[in-house]
Every structure is written in C-alpha cells, then in structure tokens.
Amino acid sequence: MDIQQIMVIGAGQMGAGIAQVCASHGLDVYLHDVSEEQAENGRAGIGKRLDREVQKERINDADKERILRKIHPSSDLKNAEEVDMVIEAAVENMEVKKNIFQQLDDRTPAHAILATNTSSLPITEIAAVTRRPEQVIGMHFMNPVPVMKLVEVIRGLQTSDATHEATAALASRLNKTAVEVRDFPGFVSNRILMPMINEAIFTVYEGVSSPEDVDEVMKLGMNHPMGPITLADFIGLDTCLYIMETLHDGFGDDKYRPCPLLRQYVKAGWLGKKSGRGFYLYN
Ligand code: CAA
Ligand code: NAD
C-alpha cells in the first residue's frame, strides 16, 4: 500500500515528534489537535527542533522549510477524508481514543489504516468501535521520536496481515526498527519499563532516597541514560499513571498498583517537564 498522506492526531510531544519524522521522510502530514492553536504550537515546536538540526549542519534552511511545508496544522477532522493513514497520539484514555476512532471510521477513506500510538491500551478494544478492525493497529513510537529507533507494532485480534505489513513498511521507511508484539497490557516496553519507574517513585515516597539520588543510582550503577525519576518527568507523570492503571486493571495484580505519590502529583497538575513541574522544576 502506498502511504503518502497521513494524519497525526494529538500535537503534543509524541504527535509532534511523529509528524516531524513522517514529514522528514517525504510524507504529507496533517497535525491535528483540539484547537488550531494547539496544532500550530506543535508545528512551531518542530520548527525549533529543526533549527537545532540546521545549527548542527545536519540539514540546511531549505530542508527545514521543505519539511515544515509538509506539515499542515488541523483542527477539523474533515481533513481525514484525504488520508491514507492516521496515527493517533492523543491522551492515554480509552474513552477519548474510542471516540476519535469512531469519528475516523466515518471520515477516512475505506483503504485508510487507523493506527494508535497508545502506550498500553488494548488495540483490540479500540478496533472494536470501528467497522474496519482489520485495518486498526498499534504503532508505538518511543520518546523522543526523532531519536529513538524502536517502534512496537501491536496487532489486535482482527488486524490483517496487509495492515501489519504496511505498518512495518512505514516504520522502516521512517528509519525505525519495528518489533511485533502481542496485544497485552503495556505490550513489552511499558510492561517492563513502567513498573521500574513506579518502584523508583515508591523509593522516594517511602523516604528511602531523594529523586536526585535514585536517578544517580540508576545512571551510574546501571548505565541508564536518564534516571527513572527524570524519565518519568520526561514521559509525563499523567501518562505514567494511566499506563500503571492499565497494567493494574488489565492484569488484576496488585504488583502494578500506582504509587500514591504519583497519583498526588498528577492531581496537583505536576505532570513533569511538559507542565514545568514534576519531581523536578523546569523553566
Ligand atoms: N526531541 C528530539 N531530539 C532530542 C530531544 C527531543 N525531545 N531530546 C534530545 N534530543 C536529541 C538531541 O538533539 C541530541 O541529538 P544528537 O546527538 O543527534 O545531536 C541527542 O538527542 C542527545 O541529546 P542530548 O545530548 O541533549 O542529551 P542526552 O545525551 O541526555 O540524550 C536522550 C537525550 C536521547 C533523551 C537520552 O537521555 C535518552 O535516551 N533518554 C532515555 C529516553 C527513553 O528511555 N525513552 C523511552 C521513554 S518510554 C517511551 O517512550 C514509551 C512510552 O510509552 C512511555
Ligand atoms: P501530550 O500530553 O504531550 O499530548 C497530547 C495531545 O493530545 C495534546 O496536545 C492534547 O491537546 C491532544 N488531544 C487530547 N485529546 C484530543 C482529541 N480528542 N483530539 C485531538 N487531540 C487531542 O501527550 P504525549 O506524551 O504526546 O502522549 C500522547 C500519546 O502517546 C498517549 O497515548 C501516550 O500514552 C503515548 N505515548 C507517550 C509517550 C511519552 O513518552 N510521553 C511515549 C510513547 C507513547
């Protein structure tokens, strides 16, 4: 299947990163969010990241302009009528995602693939709200998208071989490595990563150590590029909490209970880097 025109839903850190990588590899991208302002902000952030690439002499000004011209901010789902594929990267909430997929099913052309960048939610359940579950798939990019090589590709119960092949081919066109995983809560990445982050937050909650020292232990002792508390702030504490809730509900096992401190920070609006405050303060 020839994918040329794509829509990315959600212009936050993941959606903007996915749009940047798609446009850099020649795809036309609608970057869609709830308002024109949010979508424009997402595109402006991509412009800033591309400026840094120009400064590092990896691309030139003409490349930057060419990439930005391929990204069209959108707040009208009517634009989905033109696309070959959608990659949804809105908030990690099942009701929000189901609502988006229902609307996409009504609006996108019959051949269009509907992918979700969900971190943990069941693909099969999202697919079930559409009349094309065989064309629904998980395409899970890692943060920061322009840097990280992995894409987890998750087949729902009814995902077709053709949809899987087209999605894996797109990942490869974007210079990513696709790894196929089955549709279980948290897939592979977050089933392993998120309990570690949650446990790191428990060590802070129980007064075993400070955020700085927990990070130092994991950076110097385990060679992690970022400590788990910094990584939680980087991912977004809301996203971390929603993933833990999905693991807890999905497996029914208390070993996945979210740390109360994580809940409290999210309730306070301390969402990490994106809100200016999490376990650390950001400008
Ligand atoms: N967007 C784009 N590029 C970015 C970036 C961003 N937000 N942040 C950093 N980079 C780039 C920099 O431009 C730099 O590029 P070059 O080396 O090509 O010049 C490179 O990344 C390294 O950046 P820095 O030197 O500034 O900083 P660093 O060496 O500390 O690396 C990092 C930054 C790549 C983010 C590194 O700290 C890292 O790998 N951290 C762990 C990231 C990780 O675990 N991601 C997975 C999160 S979990 C997930 O995504 C799944 C989920 O569902 C929650
Ligand atoms: P974010 O909070 O940075 O951005 C979410 C964006 O979605 C916001 O701009 C918001 O306005 C928009 N949005 C919310 N509801 C919408 C709707 N109905 N229609 C259109 N846009 C809507 O979140 P993020 O970190 O980019 O995460 C997005 C998705 O990607 C989540 O499902 C998350 O689990 C997943 N994910 C996150 C990471 C990470 O490290 N943050 C990594 C991989 C996957």
Q: Where are the domains of the chain?
A: 5-182, 190-273
Tokens describing residue 283: 């400008």
- Would you call 41 a catalytic residue per the annotation? no
Answer for the pair 135, 164: CB distance below 8 angstroms, yes or no. no
- Options 24, 120, 190, 198, the catalytic residue: 190
β-bridge mates for residue 85, sequence order: 6, 113
Protein residue closest via CA to atom 35 of ligand 1: 144
Ligand 1 centroid–CA 125 distance in Å is 31
The confidence score (pLDDT) of residue 283 equals 85
Range list of H helices, the chain: 13-24, 36-55, 61-69, 94-107, 123-127, 161-173, 189-205, 211-222, 228-235, 237-251, 260-267
- Would you call 99 a catalytic residue per the annotation? no
Residue 78 makes CB contacts below 8 A (sequence gap 6+) with 107
- Would you call 275 a catalytic residue per the annotation? no
As a whole number of angstroms, the distance between CA 17 and CA 22 comes to 9
Ligand 1 centroid–CA 147 distance in Å is 6
The confidence score (pLDDT) of residue 251 equals 97
Answer for the pair 76, 35: CB distance below 8 angstroms, yes or no. no
CA nearest 100: which of 234, 36, 211, 7? 7
Q: Which CATH number among 3.50.50.60, 3.40.50.720, 3.40.605.10, 3.40.50.1000 corresponds to the domain 5-182? A: 3.40.50.720
Helix, strand, coil percentages in the chain from 3-state DSSP, rounded to 5: 50, 15, 35
Which of ligand 2's atoms lies nearest the C-alpha of 41? 9
Q: pLDDT truncated to tens, each residue of the chain (283 aa)? A: 889 999 999 999 999 999 999 999 999 999 999 999 999 999 999 999 999 999 999 999 999 999 999 999 999 999 999 999 999 999 999 999 999 999 999 999 999 999 999 999 999 999 999 999 999 999 999 999 999 999 999 999 999 999 999 999 999 999 999 999 999 999 999 999 999 999 999 999 999 999 999 999 999 999 999 999 999 999 999 999 999 999 999 999 999 999 999 999 999 999 999 999 999 999 8
The confidence score (pLDDT) of residue 199 equals 98
Ligand 1 proximity of 226 Cβ (cutoff 6 Å): yes
Q: CA separation (Å) from 51 to 28, 64, 194, 263?
A: 20, 7, 32, 37
**Cis upstream peptide for 228 (omega within 30°):** no
Answer for the pair 259, 205: CB distance below 8 angstroms, yes or no. yes
As a whole number of angstroms, the distance between CA 252 and CA 61 comes to 52
In the structure, which protein residues have their CB atom closer than 6 angstroms to any atom of ligand 2?
A: 9-15, 32-34, 38, 89-92, 96, 100, 117-119, 141, 143, 235-236, 239, 274
β-bridge mates for residue 116, sequence order: 88, 138
Ligand 1 proximity of 225 Cβ (cutoff 6 Å): yes
As a whole number of angstroms, the distance between CA 246 and CA 216 comes to 29
β-bridge mates for residue 154, sequence order: 138, 181
As a whole number of angstroms, the distance between CA 192 and CA 255 comes to 12
- Would you call 190 a catalytic residue per the annotation? yes
Ligand 1 centroid–CA 113 distance in Å is 29
CATH architecture under which domain 190-273 falls = Orthogonal Bundle (1.10)
Ligand 1 proximity of 121 Cβ (cutoff 6 Å): no
